[in-house]
Structures are given as structure tokens and as C-alpha cells.
Structure 1
């Protein structure tokens, strides 16, 4: 890992009178995988929109703080200039162009990229190496793909811009466990090839396995942060996000059930 990467400092975001993020700060060093955990409404998607400059499309606006990439301020850039700067987003719910072919979806991903025809060809080869099924189904309408295949297409479309950083919003959402693991392995491979990852994910167990550092968002604020393995071992994270019940509490509950058995029905 090297380079300054992504730096978010004291970022605040509002949707009209509603404050969605409050002075959020985080770093994604170049070459790292960083995850942001949190429940629904915590502000995770809002954070990604602020980075890629699409907040205005959702009625939101940055009200304070800064977002920089490799020392360059992204504030004020249009979304296409953020892509040109090396950042691509894979939105929640995949959002493929259902009536377009797989091939045309991938071509759309190259719009705004800075390279020429040879670079686009190289990007397409990389996508087909990662996801051979997309080559096999190049002329099929994207809406006819399975959910997992659509997620592959969404990732492939983002890679067509040859980004140095990917923003992934809930990539495992709605996928069967085996497909979610396959997507996770692909994310790991993409990172190994040199692309930084900012991963927003409700599947905390999966996210913490992929990431080197993690942040926990609650109601728009960072409440926990640190190395991913340390957060994975945290009792609070295990209880709230990994579904692990504290062993002492579980033992106390079992003893209580043994000494005070529940009545199965009332007896008159």
C-alpha cells in the first residue's frame, strides 16, 4: 500500500433539513480494502454518494467537510470528472441497464474514462477474465441475467473505466450465500491487482474478512473504527453485527430458564 488515497474529513451531509452525516472522517490508503458497517439508515450509501458527487441526484448536499483523492479535492467536481480521477462506484441494487445487452452495459461503463481504444480493449479483457459468463452472454439483455450475474455485470461495468478505487455499495445484497462468497473472492482478486476498495456492506462477517480497516456508522456518525480483525473480535461488534451473543449472558439466561421453567399453559 502506498500513496495518499481517499481522505474524508469532517464530512457532513443533509437532505433538506435532515442531517444524514455528521463530521465523518475516514481514510482509504491506496491499495487497501476499507469497509463501512452499519444498519439501514446509518448513512453508508450517503457517504459513497458524497465521494462520487452524485448527492444532488438524490436531493442531498454536502454541508461541511472535504473529500480528497491523492491530495486533490473532489469537492465541486462533476460525477464524470470523479470517474476520470480514478474512482468508480457500483451502486446498491446493481442498477444495470436491463434493456441493453451485456456488451452495451460494459461499453457504457467506459464512458468518461480517460484512455483510448486500446485501454478500453484491455479493460474488457480484464472483465472477461474475471467474469467469463459476461463474454458468453455478451448479446443477451442484462435484465435476463440472474441476480448474481447482474452483480458481476455491475462490477464489470465499473471496471471498464479502469479505476484505481472502487466504491461498492452492498454487493452481497439479495444474493445466495455461495454467490455472495464468489463476489467477495472477486473483490479480493480485484484488490490484489492493485485497485483500492471502499466497501459498504451489511454482511459484516464477509466485509471484515475482506477489509484491513473498518468503520462503524450509526445515525450518520462514526462510532467505532480500527483494524478489521480488532473490530471482528470486539464484543460490541460481534453482538450487534455478527449475531454473536455474549457467552456469559447466554449462560445466565440458560440458568434462569432451568431454575424458572416457563409454563406451557395456564391451569385452572
Structure 2
């Protein structure tokens, strides 16, 4: 594991007596998009909460392991200090402040940002360029936005802290396919602008298109990892997460794409 990006090493998490993660390790290099796949209950959201230090709000706790960004340990910090260190999370279900205006939601996202007034202005300019509709709806209550617009606001709020790493938890959940693709395009643009992304996403096909590397969580453990293209070409991943059941068709697609199905099974 390198030390320049976000590094999770041997992380275990429990909710009381229930073990949710067991010795999970992964890395998000600088400038990368990394995705975590897995079924419901596999521990994906728990992983993001452990990184952002919000586990205690959900009754969980890290029992062993470390999380670091650029060589700096994050696992001893409070959630606000993690944001200040460069990690922002967009939670599942958007969780915007429904009674507050769009503008006030964005101001809330900048509370722990460095850079003063100039930094906040630059961040606001960035999110308005990414999501022009939020500039148009600045004085509208967030609860009156559509589901897709609320997801845009949730992402924009996280970006107001100018993070080095953005944690995205199911950004396409509940969205129409067209809106999900718009969110995916925005993730690509955010990454192009220099922000690394750790993406948890039930839509495996979408996630594997966005990511350079992927990990598969099963019952709290990493069982597969490798380049996203290799996982996308894997019969096992196709069958379990992409809905491909015709093995011959999967093999033909793999051969046509010229991608080897060499996957890493986690041994830990």
C-alpha cells in the first residue's frame, strides 16, 4: 500500500457484538476513482462511515486498523477534522437540509473549509459551474427540489469543503437512468478537476465504467480486487453484479474486448 492517497489498512468495525467489517484494506491513489461493489449488508456504507469518522452516529466503532490520507492518520480525528483534512462524504439518501435554502445548504458545506472567504467563493463558483440549476434555485428550499436535484445539492455541499477525496454512497439510488448518467458525468468531471473519488454504488455497471480500480465486499471482507476493466470482464462479477447469466456470451464479450479476467482474491 502506498501513502500518497487514501489508505485503509486492516480495518475492522463492529456494531456492538456484530462484526461488520473484518480486516478490510484498500487504497484510493491521488486522482483516481475507486469503487466498492457488494450486495446489501456487505458493509459498503460502514466502510465509508469508518473513513469519515461518522460511525458513532450509527452505533458503530472501529475495533482495529488505520485510515490515512497522504500519510496522515485520520482514524483518531473527529468528523469535522476529517473534513478539514480533505475528506468529504455524500451520504446515501442525499440527506439535504430540507427546510434550508439551496444557498444555505452550500454554506453549511463550507463551514470546515480552509481558505477563508476567497476559498469559499472559489468553491461556490465551482459547484455552480458543475450544477447550474443550483445557482438558479439558490433561494428555494432544498426539500422542494427533485430527487436528482437533491443529489446534485448533496454532492455540491460536500465539494464546498474543497476535498481531496470525495466519498460517494449510492449516488444513483432512486434516480431515473438519465439522471443517474448525469450524476456519473459529474463524477467524471469532478475527478478530472483533481478530486479523488471512493464510490459505493449498487449499479455495478455504472460504477465499473467510472472507476479505475474496484473491490468487492462480501459479508464485511474484501474477496476480489483488481482493475475495474478486469472485474467488468469477469464471469463471476458479471453473473453476480451485472446480471449476465449466459457464460458463452460473457466469454465472447471478454474475448472481443481483449481483457484478461485476472482478479486478485484478498488473502488476509
Q: Distance in 1 between matches of 2:154 and 2:188?
A: 16
Other-structure match for 2:158: 158
TM-score, normalised to structure 2, is 0.91
Distance in structure 2 (CA, Å) of the matches to 1:50 and 1:6: 13
**Cα contact 1:5–1:29 (8 A) shared by 2:** yes
Match of 2:260 in 1: none
Deviations 1:169-222 (A, max 9, x none): 000000000000000000000000000000000100000000000000010000
Structure 1 residues 197-236: aligned runs within 5 Å: 197-236=197-236
* Total equivalences in the alignment: 249
CA distance in 2, matches of 1:106, 1:75: 26
Distance in 1 between the 2:50 and 2:115 partners?
Answer: 25
CA shift, 1:249, in A, is 9.8
Secondary structure of the equivalent of 1:27? strand
Q: CA deviation at 1:88?
A: 0.3
Q: Scaled by the length of structure 1, what TM-score is found?
A: 0.91
Aligned residue in 2 for 1:131: 131
SS at match of 2:22: strand
In 1, distance between residues paired with 2:17 and 2:98?
35
Report the secondary structure of 2:39's partner residue.
coil
Structure 1 residue runs without a partner (length 5+): 251-268
Partner Cα distance (2:78, 2:192) in 1: 29
Rounded to whole Å, the distance in 1 between the matches of 2:231 and 2:247 is 18
- Alignment RMSD, CA only? 1.3
- Following the alignment from structure 1 to structure 2, what is the Cα–Cα distance between the partners of residues 91 and 249? 36
Query: What is the deviation of 1:246?
Result: 2.8
What SS is found at the alignment partner of 2:202? coil
Q: Which has more radius of gyration?
A: 1
The 5 Å alignment of 1:106-125 reads 106-125=106-125
| Aligned position for 2:39 | 39
1:260 corresponds to which residue? none
Unpaired segments of 5 or more residues in structure 2?
A: 251-268
**How far apart are the structure 1 equivalents of 2:248 and 2:158?**
46
